[in-house]
Amino acid sequence: MTQPSQIKNQLFKTATTATIARFARITGTGSYLPPNRVTNADLVSQLAATGIETSDDWIVERTGIRARHFSAQGVLTSELAVAAAQKAMQAAGLLASDIDLIIVATSTPDMVFPSTACIVQNKLGIAGCAAFDIQAVCTGFVYALSVANAMIQSGAANRAIVIGAETFSRILDFKDRTTCVLFGDGAGAVVLEASATPGILATDLHADGKHVGILCVPGNVGGGAVEGSAFLHMDGQAVFKLAVGVLADTARTTLAKAGKTETDIDWLIPHQANIRIMTSTAKKLKLDMDKVVVTVDQHGNTSAASIPLALDTAVRSGQVKQGQTLMLEAVGGGFTWGSALVQY
């Protein structure tokens, strides 16, 4: 019996040999959240037991976050990534063996090396295709999407799985209420396939290393131990000022590259870090908040996973529909920032 993926393979070969122009389109999305959902009330109670005071009102007012998910002890980033990738491939009607490129965006890899992408590749039961990680913190998924798009356009790959996955709970200092309430764990993935029809319309990537210190995990491994701090450190005010200053600019740059304007955006899907940053960016782009996909209230900040998590949530809920134009944008430690305009 002919499998659906075999039929799709034959159609794919026909399409790619009959056309000259190559584009990359998202053909499937997937996501995964650990089952342990931690509400603000849960976290407030946990912190109070260690003498740290905070409140649901304080967290919601400053961030918009009401809950997040934490992985169980011993659960690694690759496990979340595999679960999201499998859902994305199922949505695209593909088998793991159909994939010829794996990129994982993460700041919380399973090991120093090899890459989490290679571990994911093995867990998916495939071998031989290119697999590597991208580390751009919260902007990682946009970076990875841009790289995969370029590789597909060049002919270096035909079908890619692009994953953002994080277990930030491993690097949170639960004695620091200014950071431990912000982050969560999760993974999101998209399948990108070569197509004669444009999908990724334009991307824009930036970094400025002089801002390394305002958001970082400054520890490193040396002599079999962690040297320095292995906890996340953040200057919240500095991050906020930088974020609101660059997100609207990169979105406008990407729109200009694609020959589009703000009015062409059906959905803004920003990095889910802070509702105030998201609201400010939407205002600068003259977009109503009902055109912004918001999941930060339920997921917290999942770093590189936040955009593909939000995208999959919006696709599966029926918010995002085929043919719509999506603006994806993020800002993160490094300092990095960037955006991608997508015809879904």
Distance CA(183)–CA(232), nearest Å, equals 10
**Cβ contact 332:140 at 8 Å:** yes
**Cβ contact 199:148 at 8 Å:** no
- pLDDT number for residue 3: 59
Same domain, 168 and 26: yes
- pLDDT tens-digit map of 28-56: 999 999 999 999 999 999 999 999 999 99
- pLDDT number for residue 9: 60
Distance CA(54)–CA(141), nearest Å, equals 31
Whether the predicted pLDDT of 10 surpasses 90: no
Same domain, 295 and 311: yes
Closest CA to 145 of 191, 197, 187: 191
Provide the annotated active-site residues: 138, 271, 301
Counts for the chain of helices (H) and strands (E), in that order:
11, 15
| Domain assignment of residue 181, yes or no | yes
Same domain, 98 and 147: yes
- pLDDT number for residue 8: 59
End-of-domain residue from the set 141, 168, 197: 197
- pLDDT tens-digit map of 212-266: 999 999 999 999 999 999 999 999 999 999 999 999 999 999 999 999 999 999 9
Closest CA to 140 of 115, 111, 169: 115
Closest CA to 133 of 150, 121, 149: 121
Q: Domain range holding 165?
A: 4-35+68-197
Distance CA(268)–CA(295), nearest Å, equals 12
- pLDDT number for residue 295: 98
Same domain, 123 and 205: no
Whether the predicted pLDDT of 20 surpasses 80: no
- pLDDT number for residue 142: 99
Whether the predicted pLDDT of 17 surpasses 70: no
- pLDDT number for residue 7: 54
- pLDDT number for residue 85: 98
Where is pLDDT greater, at 18 or 325? 325
Same domain, 95 and 168: yes
